[in-house]
Amino acid sequence: MDPTDQEAVAATLADRHSFSLLVERYQLPLSRYVARLGNLDPDTVKDILQEAFIKTYLNLNDYDPALPFSSWLYRIAHNETMMHFRRQKSRPQVLKHESDMTLFEQIPDELNIFEEGDARLRGERIQRALQDLKPQHRDVLILRFFEDKSYEEISDILRIPQGTVATHLARGKTALERRLRQEHIRDVYYGNDG
């Protein structure tokens, strides 16, 4: 039976080699999350993750086992990604990964924007619309819909109150819906309705 995160942290504090269990457990989900935040190439994602895991290991004594480890780790990865963007002075396009297309297809169902049509085309529309959102709205939407994080986890990761998470999520969904409706109107006007 696999140890819990808290047990793995305790084991790592006793024996540094145990940290590999946490790295193996979170490497793939964190890779997807970091890549989704800004359509980063695999080498950049690896660099950011390496820095995030180093910071995690170095600060493991500061982790409070009463709180979810995954939220603490996601916050570190999020901060490392934002520092990368600041160093680059730009934020590239969001979400160009093929695996994200099925997730894009689920968002309209919650927003009830499209009655029918080509799911792939809807995914591309959502992708374009998501790129135009304010970063705080985009970050919350990515965490909620693509990483399936709870309000509490998003609050922990972004270090904002849960009420602010709810506000950003509501405003982000509204802004996304508005952008998608504009996209749809343009597509209908130019004969590309899907």
Question: What burial letters (b/e) apply to 74-107, b meaning 16+ CB within 10 Å?
Answer: bbbbbbbbbebeeeeeebeebbeeeebbebbbeb
pLDDT value for 126: 74
- d(Cα 87, Cα 191) in Å, to the nearest integer? 42
pLDDT value for 73: 96
Q: What is the DSSP letter of 60?
A: G
- d(Cα 86, Cα 10) in Å, to the nearest integer? 34
Same domain as 60, residue 19: yes
Same domain as 78, residue 14: yes
194 belongs to a structural domain: no
pLDDT value for 177: 86
Alpha helices in 15-100 (DSSP H): 19-38, 42-58, 69-88
DSSP letters spanning 122-186: HHHHHHHHHHTS-HHHHHHHIIIIIS---HHHHHHHHT--HHHHHHHHHHHHHHHHHHHHHHHHH
Same domain as 103, residue 179: yes
Q: How far is CA 140 from CA 83, 110, 149, 162, 187, in A?
A: 18, 15, 9, 11, 27
Give me the tens of pLDDT residue by residue for the chain, a chain 194 residues long.
889 999 999 999 999 999 999 999 999 999 989 988 877 889 999 999 999 999 999 999 999 998 899 999 999 999 999 899 888 875 545 545 555 545 554 554 555 544 445 556 666 777 777 778 898 998 999 899 888 899 999 999 999 999 999 999 999 999 988 888 877 655 544 444 44
CATH of the domain at 137: 1.10.10.10
Same domain as 23, residue 59: yes
- d(Cα 167, Cα 185) in Å, to the nearest integer? 27
